[in-house]
Amino acid sequence: MLIHSNWTLNVSNPTILPRSYNLELVKILHNQIGLEIGTEKIPSTSFSGICGSCFTKQDFIAFEPQECYQLSLCGLNKDSSKAIIELNLNETLEFLGAKFNVINREDKITSYEELYTKLVANEPEPVRKFNFQFTTPTAFGQYGGTLPLPLPSLMFRSWLERWNNFSPVYLGGDELITYLNNALWLKHHRIQTRSIQMYKGYVNGFIGEVTLQMFNRADTLLANVADLLVQYAEFAGTGMKTRLGMGQTTINLAKKSVTAD
């Protein structure tokens, strides 16, 4: 079972929070759904923080009354998804002295089996162009540090690791990553680095637009597996610390593609 829950929020008055607010907010939300942070090797939730037009200055973030903001929380297995379904924020979300009005909630619910059947087993026409929007800082752990770059092999590895851990349908291992890395390329990006505050300081990541293009000669079945992992990214997020607000990913799939042999 998978769920992507998105709340629309606003504030009645100008509101200022510390840049580290996401750590307190994710703790509050996980307490409400009865899940403990830090006990899972691969997190069964992903979290966006509060996204939208806000002003950042030094160690603080300002939210304005005329703006609408988005908060999302995703469950990657049965237990976390059921807990998120039952989460009720009522009419307001209050923490650290701030008060956000809850305007709307939208839930996208599916399952691993449903995604696999629709996107792979039914043998649809393959999607060969993938347009991503990374809305929160995204990075990958590498050699004891972090890499804030949209490398296709690292993107697919992060999605595949989560899929294989939680799904009853095993997709493959390193051989699949190697194939996909050779079957597509980074066609376009418009990214910038952005830092996010974590427990031990700041982590640099990238935000912005990324387009991946798959070669037309790529195997149809494996092109559909790539499509499956790409769509899964909207639930799982991308890269490191997705439970704490990093790596939020939205997808705009394009059926039409250029010839690329």
The model's pLDDT over 211-222, given as tens digits with 9 standing for 90+, comes to: 999 999 999 999
pLDDT > 60? residue 254: no
Residue 255 has pLDDT above 70, yes or no: no
Identical fold for domains 2-110 and 124-254, yes or no, is yes
| Per-residue pLDDT, 144 | 82
**pLDDT exceeds cutoff 60 at 257:** no
Q: The tokens of 219 are what?
A: 């195997």
Q: What's the pLDDT at 39?
A: 86
How buried is 8 (Cβ within 10 angstroms: 0-12 exposed, 13-18 middle, 19+ buried)?
A: middle
Side-chain-side CA neighbours of 109 within 13 Å: the count stands at 11
Q: Tell me the mean pLDDT in the region 143-154.
A: 94
Predicted local confidence at residue 260, as pLDDT = 37
What three-state secondary structure class fits 194? strand
Residues 6+ apart with CB under 8 A from 69: 8, 9, 10, 50, 51, 52, 54, 63, 100
* Residue 261 pLDDT > 70: no
- Measured from the Cβ of residue 94, the count of other Cβ atoms closer than 10 Å reads 11
Which whole number is the average pLDDT over 52-59? Answer: 90
51-55, 105-109, 186-190, 252-256: which has the minimum mean pLDDT? Answer: 252-256
CATH class, 2-110 region: alpha beta
Q: Which CATH class is domain 124-254?
A: alpha beta
pTM value is: 0.93
> Hey, what are 248's tokens?
């939020």
Which one-letter amino acid corresponds to residue 150? Answer: P
**Secondary structure element (H or E) that encloses residue 66, with its range:** none
Mean pLDDT score, 1-20? 97
Amino acid at 12: S
Rounded to the nearest angstrom, the gap between the alpha carbon of residue 114 and the centroid of all alpha carbons in its chain is 19
Encode pLDDT of 163-217 as tens digits: 999 999 999 999 999 999 999 999 999 999 999 998 878 999 999 999 999 999 9
Please report the pLDDT score of residue 253 as a whole number: 56
Hey, is 160 helix, strand or coil?
helix
- Reported as a single tens digit per residue, the pLDDT across 78-103 is 999 999 999 999 899 999 999 999 99
Q: Which amino acid is at 196?
A: I
Residue 107 has pLDDT above 70, yes or no: yes
Residue spans per domain, the chain: 2-110, 124-254
The pLDDT of 110-136, averaged and rounded, is 97
